[in-house]
Amino acid sequence: MIIEPKTRGFICLTAHPTGCEQNVINQIEYVKSKGEINGAKKVLVIGASTGFGLASRITSAFGSGASTIGVFLEKGPSAGRPASPGWYNSAAFEKQATEAGLYAKSINGDAFSNEIKQQTIDMIKEDLGQVDLVIYSLASPVRTNPNTGKRHKSVLKPIGDVFSNKTVDFHTGNVTEVTIQPANEDDIANTVEVMGGEDWEMWIDAMKEAGVLADGCQTFAYSYIGPKLTEPVYRKGTIGAAKDDLEATSFKIAEKLKDINGNAVVSVNKALVTQASSAIPVIPLYISLLYKTMKEKGIHEGCIEQIQRLYADRIYGEDMQLDEKGRIRIDDWEMREDVQAEVDKLWAIATTENLSEIGDLKGYSDDFFNLFGFKVEGVDYDADVNEVVEIPSIS
Ligand code: NAD
Ligand code: NA
């Protein structure tokens, strides 16, 4: 079929297999171009199909020659209905890894459940014995807690006060004022349930108990801080409360891994266009101004550049350069004073009329469509493609 983007608000309902495959190939080429990283050889990535998790899987495999198991929740294709992008990404990744002689298997299911954890442990036991790196990169709006059976929904709201600021509809470029009512206690608790650290700890507990964590095993999860501008709706909002919890959990896990010489650390990553971040009000406007500024300064990075640098310079570099709260700061270039000062200046004057000039609206929009395999250079979108693509280890 001919597959075209079909957007509804912040989501795109279709994805292009050839475009997704090309994205994966481009990321692999980037990692290879940066040279070998002396990293882990047996790696589990939880949330491995898109964004930072996919970039982590690619960097482990093609930077360090690692065997990888990827866990994710994606929708497979059926005749006439394309799969979700993470499905096509994972199919392309497995194909490329296998061609390169690398072990790669995937598990498609709910990572929050006991069943998927057990299935993953069984696969590790059978195929790899143990893993020496676990990347935790889930982003989800909902979680069913397997201990209580209760389903929780996260929300993106400020805590305490009503928040009003500018935002942009990146499809139209319309800059408007958005007002968000503050969260109640349940909202906060639910968001922490979904995006906090409990599930990360449950994974590590289950894996340690099963003996599938190798001596010296490290685990990393990803967080975000961002500027003052977005603080009320991000870091000091409900999602920030969940990130506080995630970061606090890293110390609990690190303690539990001491006896196997392991470690658990959070990496604070840069703001990027992903399916998750497009849905957060105010953030798209911030990102479009940030992209413009960082591109002008020659320091713009996407997921793969971020994770390649995270591995090469921090995790497997001389020094993780932890901040005063024990976190890796690979958001260092985003948070640079000159970058933030410029974004502040642009933010103050941003309007519908000037945004395409002072902000990188096109870069935002292109990145958004790229997530779904559209607008990828070199792909012939007029060509007939087979939407039914299998993930080799799953079919
Ligand atoms: P993403 O949406 O691109 O990836 C989410 C991944 O989680 C996908 O692989 C998806 O399949 C998987 N997933 C979701 N629900 C699942 C479930 N129930 N079971 C199994 N898999 C499931 O998100 P992302 O932006 O790469 O985010 C990953 C992490 O990075 C998050 O913790 C996020 O907060 C953090 N982060 C994001 C940004 C940003 O700007 N995007 C910045 C810093 C940190
Ligand atoms: Na991810």
Whole-angstrom Cα distance, residue 269 to residue 222? 7
SS3 category, 165: strand
CA torsion through residues 308, 313, 318, 321, sign = negative
Q: What is the ipTM of this complex?
A: 0.98
- Each residue's pLDDT tens digit, 181-224: 999 999 999 999 999 999 999 999 999 999 999 999 999 999 99
Whole-angstrom Cα distance, residue 258 to residue 23? 38
SS3 category, 156: coil
pLDDT-derived band at 276, boundaries 50, 70, 90: confident
Strand partners of residue 67: 42
Phi/psi for 372 (5° steps) reads: -105, 10
Q: Which amino acid type is present at position 371?
A: L
- Each residue's pLDDT tens digit, 345-356: 999 999 999 999
- Each residue's pLDDT tens digit, 283-298: 999 999 999 999 999 9
Q: In the predicted model, what is the mean pLDDT of residues 306-317?
A: 98
- Domain boundaries of the chain, sorted by first residue: 8-148+186-280+300-331
Burial letters for 57-80: b for 16+ Cβ neighbours within 10 Å, e otherwise?
A: bbbbbbbbebbbbbbbbbebbeee
pLDDT-derived band at 277, boundaries 50, 70, 90: confident
Whole-angstrom Cα distance, residue 107 to residue 103? 14
Higher pLDDT, 9 or 206: 206
Whole-angstrom Cα distance, residue 194 to residue 192? 5
Residue 11: the pLDDT is 87
Judge contact between 370 and 16, C-beta under 8 A.
no
Q: Determine whether 234 is an active site residue.
A: yes
**What pairing do the DSSP bridges indicate for beta strands 151-153 and 142-144?**
antiparallel
- Each residue's pLDDT tens digit, 125-139: 999 999 999 999 999
Ligand 1 atom closest to residue 283's alpha carbon, by position in its atom list: 40
Q: Which CA distances in Å does 362 have to 189, 284, 348?
A: 37, 12, 20
Which helix (H) or strand (E) element contains residue 358? Answer: helix 355-358
Any idea which fold 8-148+186-280+300-331 has? Rossmann fold (3.40.50)
Whole-angstrom Cα distance, residue 61 to residue 93? 10
Q: Which CA distances in Å does 102 have to 35, 107, 219, 274, 353?
A: 17, 17, 21, 27, 50
Residue 395 has pLDDT above 80, yes or no: no
Q: Is 92 in the pocket of ligand 1 (CB under 6 A)?
A: no
Q: Is 277 in the pocket of ligand 1 (CB under 6 A)?
A: yes
- Each residue's pLDDT tens digit, 41-52: 999 999 999 999
Residue 279: the pLDDT is 80
Whole-angstrom Cα distance, residue 261 to residue 257? 6
SS3 category, 137: coil
Measured from the alpha carbon of residue 306, the closest ligand is 1
Q: Is 86 in the pocket of ligand 1 (CB under 6 A)?
A: yes
Judge contact between 10 and 276, C-beta under 8 A.
no
pTM for the complete prediction? Answer: 0.98
Measured from the alpha carbon of residue 271, the closest ligand is 1
Residue 291: the pLDDT is 97
